[in-house]
Structure 1
Amino acid sequence: MTLHIEVGADDLGASRFAISPITQVVAALLVLSGRISSWAARPWADRNRGRLHAMCEAEPDLAALISILGARGYNPDFIAPPPQGSTSTFPQDLAAVRETPAVRARQEVARVFEGRALPDKVVRIFDSPDPVGRFTHALSLAWEEFVAPDWDRMRTILQRDIAHRADQLITEGWDGVLSELAPTIRWHPQASGAVIEVSGMLHERRVLRKGGILYLPNVFDGLWFCWDEPWHNAVVYPADGAAALWPTAASHHPATAHLIPLIGRSRALILTNMDGPITTTQLTRALRMSLGAVGDHLSVLRKSGLVEGTRTGRAVVYRRTRLGDALLAGSAAD
């Protein structure tokens, strides 16, 4: 399944990067609820997952918000609207959510369930006098509990990521930027613009609406898109360097300690870091190793049959083989 997005030349020039606090809230909830996995944030998720469950028991609005996330690859856009400028505050983001008409919110939530009946907890919200206000309340709870305490450090990671992408844009163009944005994204330049190809998404071809694309980094490995009116076109992608937020992440995988005597610490960290497809550059930033060292270790792991690499555009994407998965599973069970 592959999504194809046709982007015009004018839209490339109008594209930019921005920081969205409310995007971090939604991405955090996706991780804590198990909709997506984040290797870097695993220690944080393990500490906070129980707290989320307890909050959902006490706060039905939060439980309803969780229930509409990540179903069949679509998230309602109104719960994390793309910002108007290059940065925003959480109160500004929340005000944008608050302005969503209830009819629009219900349409987006209904799309999540694709014709199936809405859960009772969601129906109760939409039967109330102020459904959007209740979702806003749930987002505020999640912000205060899971994002606000670390927001200054998160924002620093996001700013560094954007600075890196800006430098890369100058030296390599959009080809270089998108080849490293996420392992599942490919970039195909054309005379009239380009086609962005995203694997693992619903199979469709879309022509981008005018206005360019907002690229929004997040520290929780979330990857999703906003294409529908009235929202600005946006791509939410995993920020580089997020592992620095949780220093224990590199050795947190339960198999790491058992693999170190067998293949060495660095190779064990690389192997356990491959929860999904990943590039050499992403491994370098996540594990704070040199590019040469990561390349050497990947070469050994490839020759041993534990990982495999596939060229995607200008980048090579690595993933564990079945043998690599089996080795991890056996080590984690010991």
Structure 2
Amino acid sequence: MLERNIGGGSTVGLWRISTDALAGSRFVVSPMAETVAGLAAFGGQHPTSASQREWLATHLPPFRDRWGADPFALPFLHTAIRPRWIADFLVKPPRTAAPTFAEELRALADTADAEARAQIAEDLDRPMPPVLLEPGLVGRAVELVDWVWRHTVEPDWPRRRRVFEADIVARTERLSGGGWAAVLDGMRPGMRWLGDGRLQINTYDYPPRDITGSRLLFLPTTGPRGWVAWEEPGDVHAIVYPCTGWLADPGARRPPAALARLIGPVRAEVLTLLAAPKSTTQLVALTGHGLGSVGGHLRVLLDAGLVRRRRSGRSVLYYRTPLGEALAAPR
């Protein structure tokens, strides 16, 4: 898709959306979306985020060891995932509220070779690599996608899922305070809520797409731009967007070792995460600790004068005091 996936196969600049569709939209954490973002990073034809570059430093050497000499992998990546393009069958919107990777991989595997080949070929400005014309295209793509998931994403998936869930909490809280414009504006580069049922997906000059009656999903990833996707007849549309930077950057969340020894590892983690104000719910999602545990540690940090709190709309946000800033500063 052109800018439909980093836009997906069709190109769009504006979606017309009903109030009911917007009100019924939901955030979904998709293992496949994050895996495809990793495939795009391995392919090297899309921009990468800071967290992806750190991830590539670790995983690119073993990826090259396994797939560098494979006759299929790199031609596939460089053709199915091009600048402003990802073939539709790689980015099907999830059909459940909490999809597993196995479910999403089965949906990919159900694609016929001819359909996948047609999607790859759409707007392709060069001949299709001969290896992609051979039988078994989708099966080989499934093998590659599954390897990337198992070896580079799944080991870190619990942390990533918490990061995405915290991002969703932050955006949901923003919705309660500022409406859909506060959530959608800047969700991904070029995206804006224009009002009157109009959602600008990107800044490209393409005919609008009417998604009235469709379900709308928002999927966070660690990629820097995201994409949009749908399956015909178009009853589900998805917007894949970059997770908020300070959440997606693993280095920004590691507490100093000395601080962990001084006040304990969980309190040090909470204090480090408060580099920007956060609610208790966000901290629970980020840390994976229970509400009672996080609340108890916040009370200790409050009593010690390391954090303060303030109300923002319906949420209570915690933030570091100057003393907390000094303690949490990297050494």
TM over 0.5: yes
* Structure 2 residue identity aligned to 1:146: T
Q: Are 1:239 and 2:226 an aligned pair?
A: no
Residue among 185, 188, 192 paired with 2:194: 188
Structure 1 residue 288: Cα displacement: 3.2
Residue among 288, 313, 328 paired with 2:275: 288
- C-alpha distance 28-145 of structure 1, shift in aligned 2 (>3 A): same
Tell me what 1:210 maps to: 213
* Structure 2 residue identity aligned to 1:236: V
Checking the alignment, whether the CA contact within 8 Å between 2:117 and 2:132 is kept in structure 1 is no
Structure 1 residue 79: Cα displacement: 1.3
Tell me what 1:165 maps to: 171
* Structure 1 residue identity aligned to 2:116: A
Secondary structure at the counterpart of residue 103 of structure 1: helix
Tell me what 1:224 maps to: 227
Secondary structure at the counterpart of residue 223 of structure 2: coil
Structure 1, residues 218-248: CA drift from partner, whole Å, max 9, x if none? 0222410114515621110011244343449
Checking the alignment, whether the CA contact within 8 Å between 1:226 and 1:235 is kept in structure 2 is yes
- C-alpha distance 242-28 of structure 1, shift in aligned 2 (>3 A): farther
- C-alpha distance 162-171 of structure 1, shift in aligned 2 (>3 A): same
More helix by share: 1
- C-alpha distance 79-100 of structure 1, shift in aligned 2 (>3 A): same
- The correspondence of residues 131-146 of structure 1 with structure 2, limited to 5 A, is 131-146=137-152
Tell me what 2:116 maps to: 105
- C-alpha distance 89-149 of structure 1, shift in aligned 2 (>3 A): same
* Structure 2 residue identity aligned to 1:117: P
Checking the alignment, whether the CA contact within 8 Å between 1:208 and 1:227 is kept in structure 2 is no
Structure 1, residues 132-175: CA drift from partner, whole Å, max 9, x if none? 21111111111122111111111111111112222222222211
* Structure 1 residue identity aligned to 2:54: P
CA distance in 1, matches of 2:110, 2:61: 32
Structure 1, residues 80-131: CA drift from partner, whole Å, max 9, x if none? 32111221111111111111222321221111515x32122322xxx21x32
Deviates more, 1:176-185 or 1:155-164: 176-185
Structure 1 residue 13: Cα displacement: 2.2
* Structure 2 residue identity aligned to 1:143: W
- C-alpha distance 290-167 of structure 1, shift in aligned 2 (>3 A): closer
- C-alpha distance 188-93 of structure 1, shift in aligned 2 (>3 A): same
CA distance in 2, matches of 1:228, 1:82: 7
TM-score, normalised on structure 2?
Answer: 0.67
Q: Are 1:57 and 2:73 an aligned pair?
A: no
Checking the alignment, whether the CA contact within 8 Å between 2:184 and 2:192 is kept in structure 1 is yes
Secondary structure at the counterpart of residue 208 of structure 2: strand
Structure 1, residues 283-311: CA drift from partner, whole Å, max 9, x if none? xx9993569xxxxxxxxxxxxxxxxxxxx
* Structure 2 residue identity aligned to 1:106: R
CA distance in 2, matches of 1:49, 1:286: 28
* Structure 2 residue identity aligned to 1:198: I
Tell me what 2:127 maps to: 117
Structure 1 residue 40: Cα displacement: 3.2
Structure 1 residue 33: Cα displacement: 2.6
Checking the alignment, whether the CA contact within 8 Å between 1:13 and 1:212 is kept in structure 2 is no
Checking the alignment, whether the CA contact within 8 Å between 1:43 and 1:246 is kept in structure 2 is no
Question: Which runs of 5 or more residues in structure 1 are unaligned?
Answer: 250-284, 292-334
| Count of aligned pairs | 248
CA distance in 2, matches of 1:242, 1:82: 24
CA distance in 2, matches of 1:59, 1:11: 44
- The correspondence of residues 23-102 of structure 1 with structure 2, limited to 5 A, is 23-34=33-44, 35-102=46-113
- C-alpha distance 202-29 of structure 1, shift in aligned 2 (>3 A): farther
Tell me what 1:268 maps to: none
Checking the alignment, whether the CA contact within 8 Å between 2:42 and 2:56 is kept in structure 1 is yes
Identity of aligned residues (%): 26
Secondary structure at the counterpart of residue 187 of structure 1: strand
Structure 1 residue 44: Cα displacement: 1.8
- C-alpha distance 223-162 of structure 1, shift in aligned 2 (>3 A): same
Higher Cα Rg, which structure: 2
- C-alpha distance 95-69 of structure 1, shift in aligned 2 (>3 A): same
- C-alpha distance 11-166 of structure 1, shift in aligned 2 (>3 A): same
Checking the alignment, whether the CA contact within 8 Å between 1:65 and 1:138 is kept in structure 2 is no
